[in-house]
């Protein structure tokens, strides 16, 4: 799929990186199609780029890289809605907010994004009865130069290879 984006310009996204969000994303209910753009192969960060709004891009993170004890308990209706099963486990990602020039990054652990790579369906789920919030700090940079380097990397175009398979770090 060829996308024109504000952040990355024109990019060709492999079909296996295109995700349907049948219910949209909270706050963006009309946005139902996104491209998963790995930051780099095997990196814990990626981007979710709207397929219809060139200005809408989310930075996302594999939460287990920063929060190894993160516990996501999904209701059976949610699991069924996107087709998660023992033979088709889902993958968890969380939206990241970058503030103050890249010197502060937080992950929304309250509302993970659950991805079914087999069917290419996804859903952002708001967890209930959980200790998680929308602002869990990721490891902060030690210097302003490090913060600027992080911000520059986050603004760089992702490397999306045509032959690259969908991520397989299933949860």
Q: Domain locations in the chain?
A: 2-152
The pLDDT assigned to 89 comes to 86
Overall average pLDDT of the 143-167 stretch: 57
Selection from 27, 23, 4, 43 nearest residue 121 by Cα:
23
Give me 10's structure tokens.
């024109």
pTM of the model: 0.80
- 81-131 confidence digits (pLDDT tens): 889 888 888 999 999 998 877 778 999 999 999 999 999 999 999 999 999
pLDDT at 88: 86
Q: Are 121 and 90 in contact (CB under 8 A)?
A: no
Name the helix (H) or strand (E) containing 78: helix 76-82
Hey, what CATH class is 2-152 in?
Answer: mainly beta
Q: In this predicted model, which residue has the larger pLDDT, 142 or 35? A: 35
* Secondary element (H or E) of residue 76: helix 76-82
Contact 51, 35 (CB under 8 A): yes
Which has more confidence, 142 or 39? Answer: 39
Give the residue with greater pLDDT, 110 vs 138.
Answer: 110
148: how many CB neighbours lie within 10 A of its CB? Answer: 14
pLDDT at 164 over 70: no
pLDDT band, very low/low/confident/very high, at 168 (cuts 50, 70, 90): very low
Higher pLDDT, 146 or 109: 109
Are the beta carbons of 78 and 92 closer than 8 angstroms?
A: no
Supply the mean pLDDT for the chain.
Answer: 86
pLDDT for the residue numbered 171 = 42
């Amino acid at each position: 799929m060829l996308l024109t984006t504000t952040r990355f310009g024109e990019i060709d996204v492999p079909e296996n990186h295109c995700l349907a969000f049948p219910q949209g994303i909270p706050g963006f209910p009309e946005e139902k199609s996104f491209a998963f753009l790995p930051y780099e192969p095997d990196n814990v960060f990626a981007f979710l780029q709207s397929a219809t709004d060139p200005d809408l891009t989310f930075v996302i993170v594999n939460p287990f890289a920063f929060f190894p004890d993160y516990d996501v308990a999904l209701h059976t209706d949610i699991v069924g809605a996107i087709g998660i099963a023992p033979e088709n486990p889902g993958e968890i990602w969380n939206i990241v907010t970058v503030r103050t020039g890249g010197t502060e990054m937080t992950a929304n652990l309250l509302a993970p994004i659950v991805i079914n790579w087999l069917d290419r369906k996804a859903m952002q789920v708001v967890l209930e009865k959980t200790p998680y919030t929308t602002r869990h700090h990721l490891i902060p940079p030690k210097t302003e130069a490090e913060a600027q380097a992080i911000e520059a990397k986050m603004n760089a175009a992702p490397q999306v290879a045509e032959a690259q398979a969908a991520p397989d770090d299933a949860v």
